[in-house]
Amino acid sequence: MKKSKSMIVCFMAAAVVTLLFMYVYPIIRTVIMSFFNVESVTASTSTWSWAGLDNYTKLFATSIFRTSMWNLLKIWLLGGLLTMAFALLFAVILTSGVRFKNFFRAAIYLPNVISAVAMAAMWRYYVFNARFGFLNSFLEFFGFDAVNWLDTTHIFGAMLVAYCFGSVGYFMLIFLSGIERIPSDIYEAAMIDGVGAFQKFRYITLPLLRGVFKTNLTFWTTSTLTFFVWTRMFSPTETENTTVVPVVYLYNVVFGSKGVTDVDAGRGAAIGVTLAIIMVIVYVVMNKAIKEDDLEF
């Protein structure tokens, strides 16, 4: 018995130590750092100077940070509506008895297998390119004028469409698994009662996917808050106000960039803490607003 306990302690020790040093310690250090003026991430704590809430007040007084938060909200709301709508649509179609289900499921999920960097590059150079892009070639074929999709006016929409395209397949699989868990007896009973396809979707499928919706919204919020690669790919040389998001601004503040010369790791930590608080708020609100389905599977 003592040997068994010793083995358990030995196996748990590695996981506990890893958790403490790779997750707990960085979180605590970041929270503390957000209340100090810190020149760099690697600066010794002896060089830190107390700032109190100054990092947070300066942060929300900075126009580019407010712009980044507004861009983040648009990505979360508009992109979320677009992604969830298509993901749910494809999931419903694939569970309706359509032929070649496995092929279509793999084809829709395929963009998730490709690196985000490669995906963003393909959209930039092969779809949105002003001279040789597919989209302008399509417009010119039907007699419309070409559009510079990567200018200041259109670049945010182009980036959002590309990002949603790469995200639909992932959330579709989650919706798909949720729909497949709904007992077929319920649909058969509804069919006997003469319920139409739209009514089945509205009164059976949607209510029984509440838990799945909450899962997808949580994952979507997490991926949106960590939105970074797509901004860097669509604005590779200099961060633009139209595409900047908080994580990109955090990177610029901590490591510096062409437009940011006032480097401050403490303010960068404040951005990270702010995003973490937003994630917690969204999670709590969703738990209160979206109740789990009552059906036992």
- The CATH code of domain 56-289 reads 1.10.3720.10
**Token couple for 225:** 């808050």
Quickly state the pLDDT bin for 29 (edges 50, 70, 90): confident
Q: Is 49 helix (H, G, I), strand (E, B) or coil?
A: strand
Sequence-distant (6+) residues with CB within 8 A of 54 are: 37
List 36's β-bridge partners, or say none: 50
- What's the mean pLDDT in 224-252? 85
| Contact (CB, 8 A) for 183 and 270 | no
Average pLDDT taken over every residue of the chain: 85
- What's the mean pLDDT in 68-94? 93
Specify the higher pLDDT residue, 42 or 224: 224
% of the chain surpassing 70 pLDDT: 94
- What's the mean pLDDT in 254-267? 74
| Span 40-57, pLDDT tens digits | 777 787 888 888 888 899
| Span 98-108, pLDDT tens digits | 888 889 888 99
Q: Is 7 helix (H, G, I), strand (E, B) or coil?
A: helix
- What's the mean pLDDT in 235-244? 79
Where do the structural domains in the chain lie, given as residue ranges?
56-289
pLDDT at site 150? 87
Distance CA 180, CA 175 (A): 9
